[in-house]
Structures are given as C-alpha cells and as structure tokens.
C-alpha cells in the first residue's frame, strides 16, 4: 500500500534524517494546511498526530479486520485516515462501495495519484497527469500497465482489447483445461510443497494462453521473469520508498547518499521492458520458424499488418496487456488456489460433499471440462466460498477521487485514496450469516441444493465499477477447473505448519500484501481410488 510506512523506522529516512527532515516537515505541513476545508467534516477515523496524521495507526497485521472493527466502533461504513500527501477512505460495506465506486464511477474511476503541479492543458481538461507512484511510473517506467493508467481513452482501449482476447473464449479455456490436467499429472509424483505446484499451474495457464509457452517447472525463465517483476511491484506497493511520499526526491542523483533507490528502479525498469518484449519476440521467432503454438500472441501477430500504423499502435497495446495478464493475475490467483487447498484440508466434510457432487456429474469415470461449467451447484458454491472466505485482494484495488465529493453528509476531499474493504464486505454477517469466519459453501445454496438468488455472488472479490479486474472471468474459471479436477481424483488431508505440527485453524494469518496468501503449510495429497490414476493419465493423453 502506497505511503503506508513507519516514518521513524524506515531505513532510508534513518540514514538521511538530517537531509530530509526540513524538506519532509515543510512538505507535510503544507499538504496538511492545503487539505483542510473550512466547515467541512470528513468521515470518522482514529485521532492522528500533527503533520503525519494516522501514519502510525496503520495496522501491520490483518488491517482489513481492524478497519472493519474501527468502522463498527465509529458507527459508520466509512473510515477516514489522514496521511501525508493524501488521505485514505476505507469503505466497509457493500452499500458504500456500490454508491461511490459504481454509482459515482465518474468521480472514483481514477487510480491513486499524487498532488502534483499540473500543466495548464491538463488543468483545463480536469485530469491528473501523474500515475499512482513516482517509483513505478517516473523511475521504473511502468506506465504501460493499464491497471495503473488513469481513466481515459488509453485505458479504455487497453481494457477493450484485454476483454476481447481473454473473456470466456475457447482459445483461452483450452489452455486453462490443459494446465489443470498437467497439474494432476504432477501431483501423482510431486514431492514439493503444494504451493509451488499452484504457482506453476497459474503460470502455465497464463503463459500458455498468452504466448503458447508451457513451463516445465516454477524455475522456468518466463515464470521467474514475471515473478521478479511482480515482486518488484509488490515492494513498491508495500510503501518502502520515500520518493513515493516526496516525489521531488526523484531528482536526487543515484550516487548521492540515499539515492540507492534509483539503482533498484533501473534494474526493475529493465525487468519491465523484458516482461513486455522477450516473450512477445519469442512468439515472433517461433512464427518465423513455423513452430509457434496457437496462442493469443500468435493469432494476433499472424493477423497484423506490419505496414499499418494503426496495427503498430495496437501491437504496443497487445504487448502491454499480454504482459499484464501475468502481472495482474498471478499473485491473486495463486493465493486463491492455495486457499482452496487449505479449505479442503481443514474442512474434510465439505471436501466429501464436493467430491460427491463432482462424481455425480461425471459418473466418476472422467475428468471435468468446461462443458460441466455451471452445472454442479455445490462446486460453484465452493468456488464462491473460496473467494469470500479469504479474497486474494482483501483491500481491493485503490481508486481516487478526482474532485471534492459529499456522501452521507461527509466531505471526501479531492485526491483521497479510496479502498473498498473487500474482506469486510464479504464477511458481512447481515448478508452471509454469523459464521463468516468458517468455510460454509451451503450459505450460497437452498435447502434442496440449488443456487440461492438472495445471496450475491462473490464477484466483488475482483473489484468494483470501471476498475473491476478485467481478468475476472479467467480468474474464476481457473479456480473452478482446478478445483473440479483435483476433487475428481485426489484427497487432501493433514495440513501441517513449517515445524510439521497440525495446523491450527484459529491461528492462520494471511500475508498482509496486495495479493494476500495463506501462511506456509503442507498437506497430504493422494489418489482417491485405483481408477483415479488412469483418469489422470487418460486426461494428459487427451490434452
């Protein structure tokens, strides 16, 4: 999360405390004074300190749970935190998120921005011209990631292209299916921690669909390239760089004390360039050699006219969305698959019911495919419950207010960061019942096993409004086909922690990151019966 650092323990600040103290105090003081509105009341929140506001109040563990508690204590769905440069508004109910991020999407569709000096042209058009992070945009050159673009024509073009290529097409589904079946084959003899298999499966699904690349292990070059860039972006999102609080520091020379962040930025910029171009060029070479595997990239390149200027522009956009498909999907999808495995190991009765439902649909004689999608209500309920129980992005994607707004009598100042507390919304007892901490797929079903229409699906796990994740359908399909395939042939049991001790369901702490995952655990995954191995091997031969 941008800005959310402890100012007094940050190593960069400690090593340059005298150099930055005057600049920092001046900037924070000025920002604080400019951010005030005479006679206006902002939503309730914890009392902060002068100049630094609520920086020291930011929870380090399970912030989504603490924000929910603070919101309840204040008797409001809104929770307001004052931070240097910008404030943060947490939306802790579906109604608040719907009212602001969907009904007023014209105000809240920008990504987080910094209060920077705007050009006259930009001021006239009422647009922000600085993306989410100085480190990401100015120094790492990541403005090509359309998830970080401000709402506008460029963002619309990228999203439209992404939606066309990735949403529910047979070309994508065949890669999802084959990757799931390769996972089953690996699980027959796998000796690594299950999470590495889930990481490889996610990379397999995305890389094979986008570039026709089938990685053989989690150490594959293309997976490591993408994972390195994901890690770099996560490091920036964790708020570890002072330049994101004081953008003027981008002018500090890299040789100057405290300028080491520029060395990292240069390295990460090269990673970003490689992530966009290397796999794309790999497909171009394979097409020239006649060895390309059908994929989104190969299909696009085959139809592209190199002498068409519009095609060249579209080619740049295609490079961007193909690279972002992995960056945007890998972290959250891996975490979601791990949550599925965790739930099945902790709730054996649920696993038995899910296996019975899959067996009934498939007659226990074949593996699932997408002709079964949407025909197994209990499995659909399991997928919904995985997304609800521990959403991959518990604090959602940040939005930003592009002008002052008022809601329920409160002022939401221009530039305020907006975070929908997805975890709190999906654990709303008035909607999902009093047992929201437990894994109960039946909450989505009627007494006779049909889908309940009065309980909303968990699509909000993928975001709200115009900023909803464009890979939503692919993410849900990936979870569904992986869960269905595993349940058809394997039994998951005996979860243990790093020390080999039985996992305590009440002591599970998910990571506090933009893509949250369960803690390390291992489990036993074994074939359900003698016929299961033949089904796995037959499925590989079919794929």
Q: Which distant-in-sequence residues (6+ apart) come within 8 Å of 152 by Cβ?
A: 127
Q: What percent of the chain has pLDDT over 90?
A: 39
pLDDT at position 311? 61
pLDDT at position 246? 72
Q: How confident is the model at residue 233 (pLDDT cuts 50, 70, 90)?
A: confident
Question: How far is 480 from 277, CA to CA, in rounded Å?
Answer: 31
Instruction: Give the residue-averaged pLDDT of 426-448.
Output: 94
State CA 188 to chain mean position distance: 30
pLDDT digits (tens, 9 = 90+) for 57-74: 888 888 999 999 999 999
* pLDDT greater than 70 at residue 197: yes
Which has the higher per-residue pLDDT, 122 or 325? 325
Q: How confident is the model at residue 390 (pLDDT cuts 50, 70, 90)?
A: very high
Structure tokens at 250: 């981008």
Residue pair 80/88 in contact (Cβ under 8 Å)? The answer is yes
* pLDDT greater than 70 at residue 9: no
pLDDT at position 156? 77
Q: Which distant-in-sequence residues (6+ apart) come within 8 Å of 476 by Cβ?
A: 383, 387, 462
Q: Average the pLDDT over each of 75-84, 125-134, 267-276 and give the range with the smallest value.
A: 125-134
State CA 112 to chain mean position distance: 16
Question: How far is 411 from 423, CA to CA, in rounded Å?
Answer: 25
* pLDDT greater than 60 at residue 306: no
Question: How far is 440 from 427, CA to CA, in rounded Å?
Answer: 12
Give the mean pLDDT of the chain. Answer: 81
Query: CB atoms < 10 A from the CB of 499, how many?
Result: 5
Q: How confident is the model at residue 413 (pLDDT cuts 50, 70, 90)?
A: very high
pLDDT at position 281? 92
Altogether, the residues listed in the chain come to a count of 543
* pLDDT greater than 70 at residue 267: yes
For the chain, first and last CA: distance in Å?
Answer: 41
Structure tokens at 346: 């902790």
Query: CB atoms < 10 A from the CB of 40, how many?
Result: 12
Question: How far is 417 from 89, CA to CA, in rounded Å?
Answer: 6
Q: Which distant-in-sequence residues (6+ apart) come within 8 Å of 131 by Cβ?
A: 111, 113, 137, 143, 148, 149, 150
Half-sphere exposure of 360 (CA within 13 A, CB side): 11
Q: Which distant-in-sequence residues (6+ apart) come within 8 Å of 387 by Cβ?
A: 336, 426, 458, 461, 476, 479
Pairing of strands 490-496, 522-527: antiparallel
Q: Average the pLDDT over each of 10-19, 362-371, 498-507, 511-520 and give the range with the smallest value.
A: 10-19
Which has the higher per-residue pLDDT, 44 or 17? 44
Q: 523's torsion region: left (phi>0), alpha (psi -120 to 50) or beta? A: beta
pLDDT digits (tens, 9 = 90+) for 370-383: 999 999 999 999 99
Instruction: Report how far apart, in Å, the C-alpha atoms of 208 and of each of 202, 204, 292, 413, 475 are.
Output: 10, 6, 11, 44, 15
Single out the residue of 471, 464, 472, 470 nearest to residue 105, CA to CA. 464
Instruction: Give the residue-averaged pLDDT of 212-236.
Output: 84
Strand partners, 522: 496
* pLDDT greater than 80 at residue 393: yes
* pLDDT greater than 50 at residue 31: no
pLDDT at position 313? 62
Question: How far is 125 from 143, CA to CA, in rounded Å?
Answer: 20
Instruction: Give the residue-averaged pLDDT of 471-500.
Output: 92
Question: How far is 543 from 541, CA to CA, in rounded Å?
Answer: 5
DSSP secondary structure string, 112-130?
A: P----PPPHHHHHTT---S
The radius of gyration of the chain's CA atoms, rounded to the nearest angstrom, is: 24
Instruction: Give the residue-averaged pLDDT of 468-489.
Output: 91
Question: How far is 421 from 456, CA to CA, in rounded Å?
Answer: 16
Q: Average the pLDDT over each of 93-97, 116-120, 262-266, 539-543 and give the range with the smallest value.
A: 116-120
DSSP secondary structure string, 415-458?
A: T-EEEE-HHHHHT-HHHH-TTTTS--GGGGB-TTSPBPSSS--S
pLDDT digits (tens, 9 = 90+) for 322-366: 888 877 766 678 889 999 999 999 999 999 999 999 999 998 889
Instruction: Report how far apart, in Å, the C-alpha atoms of 120 and of each of 126, 187, 250, 403 are.
Output: 10, 59, 23, 17
* pLDDT greater than 80 at residue 514: no
> Positive or negative CA dihedral for 216, 220, 222, 228?
positive
Which has the higher per-residue pLDDT, 497 or 312? 497
pLDDT at position 168? 62
Name the one residue in this structure whose structure tokens are 């005479």. Answer: 38
The top-scoring range by mean pLDDT among 96-110, 144-158, 487-501 is 487-501
Q: How confident is the model at residue 239 (pLDDT cuts 50, 70, 90)?
A: low
* pLDDT greater than 90 at residue 137: no
Instruction: Give the residue-averaged pLDDT of 137-150.
Output: 76
Single out the residue of 124, 229, 537 nearest to residue 367, CA to CA. 537
Of the options 3.40.50.360, 1.10.630.10, 1.20.1050.10, 1.20.1250.20, the CATH number for the domain spanning 11-542: 1.10.630.10
* pLDDT greater than 50 at residue 17: no
The top-scoring range by mean pLDDT among 117-121, 162-166, 461-465 is 461-465
Q: What percent of the chain has pLDDT over 70?
A: 82
Instruction: Report how far apart, in Å, the C-alpha atoms of 337 and of each of 331, 377, 500 are.
Output: 10, 19, 22
* pLDDT greater than 50 at residue 43: yes
Which has the higher per-residue pLDDT, 305 or 464? 464
* pLDDT greater than 80 at residue 121: no
Q: How confident is the model at residue 6 (pLDDT cuts 50, 70, 90)?
A: very low
Question: How far is 175 from 263, CA to CA, in rounded Å?
Answer: 38
Residue pair 450/375 in contact (Cβ under 8 Å)? The answer is no
Pairing of strands 405-407, 410-412: antiparallel
* pLDDT greater than 90 at residue 15: no
Q: How confident is the model at residue 488 (pLDDT cuts 50, 70, 90)?
A: very high
Q: Quote the crossing angle between the two packed helices 348-362 and 472-489, to the nearest 10°.
A: 90
To the question of whether residue 469 is assigned a binding role by annotation, the answer is yes
pLDDT at position 265? 85
Question: How far is 392 from 478, CA to CA, in rounded Å?
Answer: 14
State CA 339 to chain mean position distance: 14
Structure tokens at 47: 């009392």
Q: Average the pLDDT over each of 123-132, 268-277, 398-407, 498-507 and give the range with the smallest value.
A: 123-132
């Amino acid at each position: 999360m941008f800005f959310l650092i402890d100012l007094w323990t940050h190593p960069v600040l400690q090593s340059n405390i005298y150099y930055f103290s005057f600049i920092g105090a001046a900037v924070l003081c000025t920002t604080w004074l400019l951010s005030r509105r005479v006679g206006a009341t902002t939503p309730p929140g914890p009392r902060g300190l002068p100049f630094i506001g609520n920086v020291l109040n930011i929870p380090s563990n399970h912030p989504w749970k603490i924000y929910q508690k603070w919101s309840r204590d204040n008797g409001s769905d809104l929770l307001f935190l004052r931070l240097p440069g910008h404030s943060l508004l947490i939306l802790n109910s579906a109604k608040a998120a719907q009212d602001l991020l969907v009904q007023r999407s014209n105000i809240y569709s920008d990504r987080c921005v910094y209060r920077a000096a705007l050009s006259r042209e930009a001021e006239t058009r009422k647009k922000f011209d600085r993306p989410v992070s100085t480190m990401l945009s100015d120094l790492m050159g990541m403005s090509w990631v359309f998830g970080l673009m401000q709402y506008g024509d460029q963002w619309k073009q990228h999203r439209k292209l992404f939606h066309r290529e990735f949403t529910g097409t047979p070309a994508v589904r065949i890669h999802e299916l084959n990757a799931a079946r390769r996972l089953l084959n690996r699980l027959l003899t796998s000796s690594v921690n299950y999470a590495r298999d889930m990481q490889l499966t996610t990379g397999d699904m995305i890389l094979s669909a986008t570039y026709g690349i089938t990685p053989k292990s989690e150490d594959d070059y293309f997976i490591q390239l993408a994972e390195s860039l994901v890690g770099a972006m996560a490091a920036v999102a964790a708020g570890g760089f002072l330049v994101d609080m004081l953008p003027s520091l981008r002018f500090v020379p890299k040789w100057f004390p405290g300028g080491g962040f520029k060395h990292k930025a240069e390295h990460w910029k090269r990673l970003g360039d490689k992530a966009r171009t290397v796999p794309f060029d790999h497909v171009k070479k394979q097409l020239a050699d006649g060895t390309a595997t059908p994929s989104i990239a190969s299909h696009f390149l085959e139809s592209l006219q190199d002498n068409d200027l519009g095609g060249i522009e579209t080619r740049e956009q295609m490079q961007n969305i193909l690279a972002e498909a992995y960056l945007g999907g890998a972290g959250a999808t891996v975490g979601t698959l791990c949550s599925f495995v965790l739930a099945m190991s902790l709730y054996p009765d649920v696993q038995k019911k899910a296996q019975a439902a899959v067996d009934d649909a498939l007659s226990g004689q074949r593996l699932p495919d997408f002709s079964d999608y949407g025909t197994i209500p209990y499995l659909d309920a399991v997928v919904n419950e995985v997304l609800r129980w521990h959403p991959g992005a518990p604090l959602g994607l940040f939005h930003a207010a592009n002008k002052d707004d008022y809601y329920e009598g409160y002022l939401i100042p221009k530039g305020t960061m907006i975070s929908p507390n997805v975890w709190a919304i999906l654990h709303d007892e008035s909607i999902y019942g009093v047992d929201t901490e437990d894994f109960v797929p039946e909450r989505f079903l009627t007494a006779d096993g049909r889908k309940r229409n009065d309980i909303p699906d968990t699509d909000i796990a993928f975001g709200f409004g115009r900023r909803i994740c464009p890979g939503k359908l692919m993410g849900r399909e990936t979870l569904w086909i992986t869960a269905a395939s595993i349940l058809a042939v394997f039994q998951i049991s005996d979860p243990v922690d790093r020390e080999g001790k039985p996992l305590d369901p009440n002591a599970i702490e998910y990571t506090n990151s933009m893509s949250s995952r369960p803690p390390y655990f291992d489990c036993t995954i074994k074939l359900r019966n003698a016929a299961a191995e033949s089904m796995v091997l037959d499925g590989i031969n079919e794929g």
